[in-house]
Amino acid sequence: MRIGIFDSSNADGGSIDQIVGSAATAAEHGFASFWLPQIFGFEALSVLAILGREVDDIDLGTAVVPTYPRHPVTMAAQALTAQAASGGRLTLGIGLSHQMVIENMFGLSFDRPARHMREYLDALLPLLAGEGAATDGETIRVSAGLSLPPGIAAPDVVVAALGPRMLALAGTRTAGTVTWMTGPRTLASHIVPSITAAAAEAGRPAPRVVACLPVCVTDDEAAARERAASTFQLYGFLPSYRAMLDLEGVEGPADVAVVGDEATVARAIRGLAEVGVTEFVAVEYTLRDPERTRTRELLRSLL
């Protein structure tokens, strides 16, 4: 199982220089990948294009770019730009976002999200492969291509898929899924078997399962979980994540955070590999030492 680092600096007011420094440190420490979200800050794929030129020897990914606000031609152009700038190190993580964001904040319809993602992939995947898109869906109609230099390989696409229909779509059409706030029992009983079965039925390779979770190595587990409950409180109310927490049988985000001393955290992360996770992406949510240093050193010891 590969191990990567999730950095939300692009959405939390961090400067470009800070993000470059964080990625360079992750590469120096030997991590396999470095991931950015797309929320309400710097544009993630643009930042990854910069990182692709500035930082070597680490894969780059988005977790995730929402599809509704971004036309598939625009998404493909931005992704291929980052792919070219990084020499082929991009994983394009995309997702639906949430009804409250798409409708209340962006003013767009969130109607029939699985249909939207299917039609979006109908347009996006050919464009990423250097082909023209010719689609005539109910909500997405595209007749366009991109003029780019030859030799840019299509990046892997992973979909933030949690429900059965989205997992089936991700397994049959893309390289895999990227999850958030999804615990080990749910990964083992729902995510991994569902997407693996879909990929097998479609004759595709075993899918990537990229699992992102908060991590903190500490001797004060109760305080660290209390901090996780506060920091990630919102995710306990968003319907898609709430469904995964309910499947896990836990009260909230603090209960799926990977927290404890070195042995406890190492055991939990190794356990993710045993249930079929192919890449663990750590969200190091403490800024305090010695917890910050201990967390990073523990993650490095597992590489």
Kindly tell me if the per-residue pLDDT of 109 is higher than 80: yes
**CATH for 1-159, among 3.20.20.30, 3.20.20.70, 3.30.1300.10, 3.90.79.10?**
3.20.20.30
Q: How sure is the predictor about 287, in pLDDT bands with cuts at 50, 70 and 90?
A: confident
Which tens digits make up the pLDDT trace of 235-267? 999 999 999 999 999 999 999 999 999 999 999
State residue 205's pLDDT score: 97
Domain ranges of the chain: 1-159, 161-303
Kindly tell me if the per-residue pLDDT of 51 is higher than 90: yes
The mean pLDDT value of the chain amounts to: 97
Please, what CATH class does the domain formed by 161-303 belong to?
alpha beta
Nearest alpha-carbon partner for 63 in 45, 77, 75: 45
Q: Hey, do 1-159 and 161-303 end up sharing a CATH topology, with the first three levels equal?
A: yes
State residue 183's pLDDT score: 98
Cβ neighbours around 29 below 10 Å, total: 14
The arithmetic mean of pLDDT across residues 83-93, rounded, is 98
Q: How sure is the predictor about 73, in pLDDT bands with cuts at 50, 70 and 90?
A: very high
Kindly tell me if the per-residue pLDDT of 11 is higher than 90: no
The arithmetic mean of pLDDT across residues 170-199, rounded, is 98
State residue 122's pLDDT score: 98
* Residue whose tokens read 């840019």: 152
Which tens digits make up the pLDDT trace of 119-157? 999 999 999 999 999 999 999 999 999 999 999 999 999
Burial of 272 (0-12, 13-18, 19+ CB in 10 A): buried
The DSSP secondary structure of 11-27, one letter per residue, reads GTT--HHHHHHHHHHHH
Residues 6+ apart with CB under 8 A from 37: 6, 8, 10, 11, 44, 62, 63, 64
